[in-house]
Every structure is written in structure tokens, then in C-alpha cells.
Structure 1
Amino acid sequence: MPQEKITLSQLEQYLSRAAWILKGPVDASDFKVYIFPLLFFKRLSDVYDEEYQQAFEESDGDIEYASLPEFHRFEIPEGCHWKDVRETTVNVGLVIEKALRGIEQANQELLYGIFGDAQWSNKNKLSDRLLIDLIEHFSQYNLSNSLVEPDMLGNAYEYLIKHFADLTNKKAGEFYTPRSVVHLLGLILDPHEGETIYDPACGTGGMLLECVDHLKENKEDYRTLRLFGQEKNLTSSSIARMNMFLHGIEDFQIARGDTLKNPAFFAADGLKTFDCVIANPPFSLKEWGAENWANDPYGRNIAGVPPKGNGDMAWVQHMIKSMNSTGRMTVVLPHGALFRKGAEGKIRKKLLEDDLLEAVIGLGSNIFYGTQLAACVMVFKQNKETSKKNKVLFIDGSDQVRIGRAQNYLETSHVNQLFDWYATYQDVENYVKVASIDEIIENDFNLNIPLYVEKIIEDNLPSVEEALADLKLAWRESQKAEEKFKTILKEFI
């Protein structure tokens, strides 16, 4: 087993090859169900061995001392170590299941349920031969702390999440938001030391980790952040928890459950509130729980009941209710949330009258996995700066993309441009408009960006005289070319 430090490129290849081993018997959309838990299991085992070795050397070879729980971040019970699985050749899936459940039980407070519900013992899908190949593949590297830093392993994990979104591309947007969009939200939110961050639709935890990266980039102590997330999907919520541990994050809570029907975080007087709220919730969710919203027990019905078949404005109200008295939030929504009438129009009106909305940023189309829709970012604040009160900033970023064949891309230069426009907060012809509440009232609280950011179409058409002169010139040139062609042709006849 190599004992030198592993590069990010090696790690990425190592992880994507694991997916190739599963290809065939396992559908691409299920790769994550198996590969993420195995990677985490391998990391836990290697770190445990490293901790054991350090304690063993410190105690001059005392095995009992080196096995004491206080020397280990996580306990690995007897028979549940990676090497126990590696030594198995029959009923490998059962042994994996036993090891994963054993580790969860030994570390109930932190790891309960973290490995998800994959059916490892289903031999129709996972033969012993396939699992042995997979275990051997994962065994080629030592993933201890000294050889693989948490950040690098975390980045490789993020790579794998994107890789699976690329492979499946079906409904992948539910579980993967492009990094550039996440980065834009982090820049706007601008979290700082000691703050609480909450993502009510956290997927695999990318938005929360972006806030951690934001502090690192600003040379602030990211360990003072307290991270909270809720996610309905079992696999995604498990991956989010593993993702946090693999990034070396200690202070976090990821709850599994339906946020709109059963929110997970409470304080003494109702819903828990946070400094920063960030999310890319499922677009236009249908069965979101409209029947209970009118008398919502958590007091989230602050602006009205959204339509039964569309939960966009339920997410917005939940997030606003989750901001503390100085809180701020960024949320990704489909463009329809800006202009749909009926119940949503009334909700928009109330939120604008309460002066909670600071900015609307339109993103280019086709940058999200699995949907051609153009999305927008809405920025809300409990207390807007005095100079921004009764105003909303509109940014048209529809052309801030690189056009690709199957998909478009929001690149670093585009993110920087959008953030610069947001931070500068002034009109830019064709792109940015600071609109007053009176202008918005005139438009009946419709927030459709083209109502505010008017594109000036330059008329570069020639005059009739110029067009006629060009036509005559072209006609003369064509006649000359025809004569020349006839002359050349005679030589061959």
C-alpha cells in the first residue's frame, strides 16, 4: 500500500474507477448509494489505525491503552474494521452490512443511520466477485489523516457528487447544484465567524460547505460556524453528514425529514432562527403540504397560502421565518416565482410591502442539471441598509454564461461580474436597475426582470440608399465573376 501523500487527481481517478466496477449490475443513479458509504468506511478504518498506532507508540506498545475510546474520533468494534471485510470471500455483502451497522451502533450520537439503507446482501445486484473487486480497489490507498487531508478528501467527494450528476443527469438537479451557482450565493450571503447557517433543502451539503470555504478564503476561523441542514432524501442526507465529517467539520446538525411538513429545528418559542439561510429547494414542488399551511403550527404563513401544486413560495416563507432579527437569505427559484399571479402574486405583494426583498438576479438558461429552465436568485434581509430601503435591485444575468452543446456554464468570470453588480448597487445600462417600490407597485408587484432592465437594441441597419448602392456593387462583382468563369471554361471546351 503506497505510503506517500495522495494527490487530488489520484483521488478523483480512484473514485471514478470505483463507479466503473459497479457499472452494469448497478444503475448509474444508484452508484452513490454504494460508493459514498464504502469511501467513508475506508476513511474511518484508516484513521482509526493511525490513531491506534500513535497511542501504541506513545505507550511503548500497550495494546489495551491504544484501544481506549478516548484516543479515537470514532470507535470501530471488533469484526467491523475494513480489514475484516477485506479478508472475506463469501457472503461479502452480509459482512459489509454487519460492519456498517456495528460502527453506527458504536457511535450512535454522531453516526446513527449515516451509511444509509443500501441492500449490500442482494447478490442479484452485488455478487461476491463484484464486491471483492470493489473492496480491493478501495484498498489500494491508505486514507489516513497524514496521507489525505480532510479538505482534499472533501474536494474529491464533491467531485464524485458532480461526477454522478453528470452520469445520471436525470433529476440530478435535486441533488447537485452547479458549484458556480453555490459560490455566487455564498458571496452574496457573506457569512462570518460565529454565525449560524441553515439550509432547509441541503441535499448533499454543498451550500453549507460553501459557507465554510467562504470563511477560509477570508482567513476567518471556520470552526466557529454552526451548520444546520434538513434533507428529505435518505441517501442525500446521509451523504451530507459524511461530507461534513470528511471536510473535518465538527459543529453541524443534518436532520432527515420533510422541511415543509415537519421542520426539524426549534427554539423555546417556535422555529429556530439563524443568521444566514441559504437554499436551492426543489423547483415548483407539487405535494408540499398546502392543506396545513393556512393554520401552520410553526407560524410560517406570514404572507399567504401558496398554490396547492407549487411550493416555491412555501419555501420562501419558511426561510424568512427561519431568519433571526438581523438575518439574511439567498434562495434559488424558477423565474415563474417572480411573476405568477393568483396566490403567489399576493404573497409577493406582502413580502414587498414588508420591505424584505433586497435583490433579484436572473441567471442564464440551462445551467442546472436535468432542467432547461432559467433560474433566479432572490436575496432577502430582515433589516436592509437605510440606503436600500423601499428599493429592489434587479440584475439581468441571462447572457452571463458560456454556451455549451448540452448545457450552459456559469463560469468564474460570470460569477464575479454578477457579484460586482450586486455589491456596487447602481444602474448599469442593459444589465442592472435599482427600482423603487413605486415602480414595482406600478407593475402590480410583478418582479419579471425585463419590466425593469430594458435592453437597448441598437439599430445597425443601413439606409435604403446604402443598401441599394451595396446591391449594385454586388451585382457588378457577380457579373465580372461570371465573365471570368466563362473565359476559363472556354479553355476546357
Structure 2
Amino acid sequence: MAKNKKQVSFEDALWGACDKLRGTVEPAEYKHVVLSLIFLKFVNDKFDTRRQELKDEGKKKYIDVQSFYTMKNVFFVPEESRWSFIMQNAKQNDIALKIDTALNTIEKQNPSLKGALPDNYYSRLGIDVSKLAALLDEINNIQTNADKENDIMGRVYEYFLTKFALQEGKGKGEFYTPKSVVNLIAEMIEPYKGKIYDPCCGSGGMFVQSLKFVENHAGNSKDISVYGQEGTTTTYKLAKMNLAIRGIPCDLGEKAANTFTNDLHKDLRADYIMANPPFNQKDWRAENEFVNDARWNGYTVPPTSNANYGWILHMVSKLSTNGTAGFLLANGALSGEGQELEIRKQLIENNLVEAIVILPRNLFYTTDISVTLWILNKNKKSRTVEQNGKIKTYRNREDEVLFMDLRQMGSPFEKKYIELTQEDRDKVTSTFHAWQQAGASETYIDIPEFCYSANKKEIVEKGYNLVPSRYIEFVNRDETQDYDSAMKALQSELTDLLKQEEEGKKELLGVFKDLGYEIKL
């Protein structure tokens, strides 16, 4: 056990934790091993804080009464599950069993954690006792209560995705959605009150940031109910943990399940949908599968070759009468042909598409491509609504779509990534909301190289193509040029040149070595 707790960054502590696992478990398992332990530490830290509060309030006799913890959305932690007990036994041969018992006991004591925690996981892994003890020491250094404003579990998950995306493979489509992007979606669709749904909820980051948006705007999180689904068991468990430790009631279904083959919320009609579906899923359904599915009602059946429009129509089927959806898709969905074109045409003719926003490249840790934020709205007509105590009047925008290009926005983040700053997001959301309410109390104007409001006639003339550069005015460059593809080609060419240079160096060193010279370049 570490005698002196020191304040270290999450990154340093987690990397140290991984160092302890090398050669013991597969890299793909690292995040799952560490996350459950961090969860256990986090729950204990909150429990200890509440326990001290009770003592300070003169309620010492209630420190072992579970209801005095649950009333504050704090999980009650039995003695055998307490972090101090784990650390006292960290070097014992049965520590793996004690960890499994601790997690199992907490889950049994707290019904909202049902199905969230790993079952007999550490005993099955067979981690060497000394390495597991060293890992516990690293976790012990993390002060989980130190950063009350940020999504700690999401930050941990994001970190591991960054480090191990290559080992696990990018093909799974498992992309953690950066917080700045989730915030942008929330700030645009403003989920103040009603049901929020995410059909591919991952670690639950959309829900966490949605409720933070409500709280930051003086709303009441009790006015929001959360529904989600996740197909991967380990990620489903993480989402349950992530939401449970924040006291966010949620319905993620009884188990992990594929949203297409086993929809766990068939009768749900959501007021808000926020999602980041897997991009460009191939062979997501058999040729004769889901052909008559109710989710495609009135629309062309999505192609088997790509699930993008399957996700879109699934979300459309879940929207309430006045529902709004904000979700991410690969840029190819803006101009796809065949069945995709037919569905896109139907969505536009049904006045569902409200805004199309191209995002900058390098926002994601596991892919460098530029992606699109779609905003769909079931009610683009003139209307007056109350949002968080404020009356807002919306203009009739049934026959219009707002196009925005954010590719020149963003600031460097962690050297090779980009994030949308609060200033960036404010510019985008103020423009979007001014466009929605223009003619009431807001004024909107088209801005070259940034935004353009297109009417349906223009969109039809362009073949129902939704690529923003087909509409937004570009002053100093060819608007027909696909700059993303061109840049990617240049980067690929540069990579090849660097590789050739490296091979040339190795060949030269080999020549000198044959001549008896050891030279370092």
C-alpha cells in the first residue's frame, strides 16, 4: 500500500497502471481491468466523503445506515468492498478474489448497478499478485473527487481508446465522442425537458454532457429521462457505471443488444436523440432481413452495404411529434447514390432535415476524418415554446436547411488533435438559433465560407446533395474541390516519401556496416 498519497495526473497514473499489466494481460483488456478498479475507488471516495459529512453533522450513529447514503445519490459500500480493505490486502495471494467479491457485493447492495460490474473477472484473468498490487498502488494515487466538473469515467475511457485503438483495431467503429462535440450537439438541440435517447450509447458520454448542459443553464435534471442501448457487453457495463456514479437514472435495457436485431425500446418516442453511430457499417443486415421493418415505414429500405441510413431511419422512427435529433455520420452519407439518395430525398421532402454541419478533421482519437453533424427536426414550422422559463418563437423553416462549415475552426489539443472551443461553439449555436428564430427577435444572414440557408428548390436542383460546399459561398477557392480528399492524398504522399527516406537511411547504414563502419544517423 502506498503510504503517502500524491496528486498525479490521470494520464500519468493510468500509464503507470498499464506498465504494471504488460506481459500479463492482452492490451485490449487494459482499459477494462483499470476502469473497474477506478470505479471501485471512485465509489469509495464518494462514500468516504458522505461518511465524513455525517460525522461532521453529528450523525455518527447513522454512518452505517444505507438510506443516509442513497438519499444523496451515493452508493453504500459494505466493509468487504471498501478501498481501505482492498489496499490492506493488496499483496495477499487472494487479492483477485477479494476484488471480485467487493464488486459483486456493491452490485448486490445497490440495485441501480445491476448488470454493471464484471463478474468473477479478476480471478479469471490470473494476474500476478505483485503486478495487481502495483496496479492498485497506481489507482490509489488517483484522487477521483479532485475534478468535480469533468466526466471522469468518460475521460478515462477516452484515454484508453487513444492509446490502444491500433491494438484493438479501428474497424470496430468504436469511437469515443469528444466532449466538445457532445457539447456542441447539446447546445444546438437544447435538451431541457423530456426523454433523451441514444441508440448506440457507448460509455454514456452523451447523457452525461446533456445533463450538464441542463444544469449549467439553470435547468432541472429531474425533467430529463434517459434511454439508451449498447451492443457491446463491456461498453454497456461501462455506461451503467458511468451513469450510476453520477446518480443519473437510466434505462439501458436489461443487457447489451444489437439495436437493429433486438430493439430494447420499441415503443419509445424521444424528445431528443443524440448519437454517434458506428460509421459505414458493412453487411449490417442480410439481403432479406428487415425488409418490412416498421422503422422504414414510408421510406426506401436502407442498403445492406452500409448502415448509415439504417441508423438515420431508426432514429426518425423514435422521434416524438416535436422531437429533435443531433447525430454524427461519415461525410459520404451526404451524397450517396441509389437507396441512400432515395431516402435522403424522402427526408428532405418530409421537411425533416434542419441543419447539416461539417466538422473539422482530427477531432476524434481513433480516426482523422472530417464528419458531419446532422440535425433533424420533426417540427420546423412556426411555433412558440417555453424553454427553461424563456419564451422562444420559431420561424417557419419547413422548406429550408441550414448548411455550416466548421473546418476552419478548432484549436490544437494534445498536440495532434483539434477541439472546438467554447468560443467556436458559441459562434455555431448563436448562428443556428438566430436562423431558427429569424423574423422574431433574432437576425440571421448568410456568411461566406461559414453558413448558408438553402431552400428546398435549390436542394432539388442540386440532386438532393447535402454537401455544404455545394451551397456555402467560397470567396477565394474552388467550391467544387474536395479539400478533405486532396489533403488526405497529400498526407499519404508525404508518408510514402518519409518511408522511402527511412528505408534509404537503413540501406546506407547497411553499406557502411559491410565496410566495417558503425555510423548512427
- For the 8 Å contact 1:285–1:311, the answer to whether it is kept is yes
Residue 357 of structure 1 aligns with which residue? 353
Q: Is 1:318 aligned with 2:329?
A: no
1:235, distance to aligned residue in structure 2 (A): 1.9
- C-alpha distance 371-458 of structure 1, shift in aligned 2 (>3 A): closer
2:219 partner SS: coil
2:310 partner SS: helix
Residue 203 of structure 2 aligns with which residue? 204
Q: Is 1:178 aligned with 2:197?
A: no
1:285 partner SS: coil
1:277, distance to aligned residue in structure 2 (A): 0.5
1:57, distance to aligned residue in structure 2 (A): 8.5
> C-alpha separation between the residues in 1 aligned to 2:174 and 2:327?
14
Residue 462 of structure 2 aligns with which residue? 443
1:263, distance to aligned residue in structure 2 (A): 1.6
- C-alpha distance 149-410 of structure 1, shift in aligned 2 (>3 A): closer
- C-alpha distance 453-103 of structure 1, shift in aligned 2 (>3 A): same
> C-alpha separation between the residues in 2 aligned to 1:83 and 1:388?
59
> C-alpha separation between the residues in 1 aligned to 2:345 and 2:327?
18
> C-alpha separation between the residues in 1 aligned to 2:335 and 2:142?
53
Residue deviations 1:360-408 (CA, integer Å, cap 9, x gap): 1111233222223221111111100333111111112222244787544
Residue deviations 1:263-322 (CA, integer Å, cap 9, x gap): 2124xxxx21111111011001124235432221x5444422111021111111111111
Residue 116 of structure 1 aligns with which residue? 118
- For the 8 Å contact 1:28–1:167, the answer to whether it is kept is no
- The one-letter amino acid of 2:257's match is G
Residue 87 of structure 2 aligns with which residue? 86
Return 417-426 or 311-320, whichever deviates more: 417-426
Return 417-426 or 203-212, whichever deviates more: 417-426
- For the 8 Å contact 1:231–1:258, the answer to whether it is kept is yes
Q: 2:106 aligns with which of 103, 110, 125?
A: 103
- For the 8 Å contact 1:278–1:330, the answer to whether it is kept is yes
RMSD value over aligned CA atoms?
3.2
Residue 421 of structure 1 aligns with which residue? 431
Residue 504 of structure 2 aligns with which residue? none
Residue 133 of structure 2 aligns with which residue? 132
Gaps of 5+ in 1: 460-493
Residue deviations 1:401-433 (CA, integer Å, cap 9, x gap): 447875444444433333333233332123322
Gaps of 5+ in 2: 383-395, 436-444, 479-521
1:249 partner SS: coil
- For the 8 Å contact 1:215–1:222, the answer to whether it is kept is yes
- The one-letter amino acid of 1:204's match is S
- The one-letter amino acid of 1:344's match is E
- For the 8 Å contact 1:284–1:312, the answer to whether it is kept is yes
Residue 189 of structure 1 aligns with which residue? 189
- C-alpha distance 91-453 of structure 1, shift in aligned 2 (>3 A): same
1:56, distance to aligned residue in structure 2 (A): 7.6
**Percent of pairs identical after alignment?**
28
- The one-letter amino acid of 1:250's match is I
Residue 258 of structure 1 aligns with which residue? 258
- C-alpha distance 430-151 of structure 1, shift in aligned 2 (>3 A): same
1:25, distance to aligned residue in structure 2 (A): 3.1
* Count of matched residue pairs: 442
Bigger Rg, which one: 1
- The one-letter amino acid of 2:115's match is G
2:151 partner SS: helix
- C-alpha distance 140-167 of structure 1, shift in aligned 2 (>3 A): closer
Alignment of 1:76-475 (within 5 A): 76-77=77-78, 79-88=80-89, 89-107=92-110, 109-116=111-118, 119-122=121-124, 126-140=127-141, 148=145, 151-152=148-149, 155-170=151-166, 171=170, 174-192=174-192, 194-246=193-245, 248-255=246-253, 256-266=256-266, 271-289=267-285, 291-296=288-293, 298-386=294-382, 387-402=396-411, 406-425=416-435, 426-457=445-476
- The one-letter amino acid of 1:428's match is I
1:359, distance to aligned residue in structure 2 (A): 0.8
1:111, distance to aligned residue in structure 2 (A): 1.1
- C-alpha distance 457-156 of structure 1, shift in aligned 2 (>3 A): same
Return 113-122 or 322-331, whichever deviates more: 113-122
- C-alpha distance 39-190 of structure 1, shift in aligned 2 (>3 A): same
- C-alpha distance 408-24 of structure 1, shift in aligned 2 (>3 A): farther
* TM-score normalised by length of structure 2: 0.76
- For the 8 Å contact 2:322–2:377, the answer to whether it is kept is yes
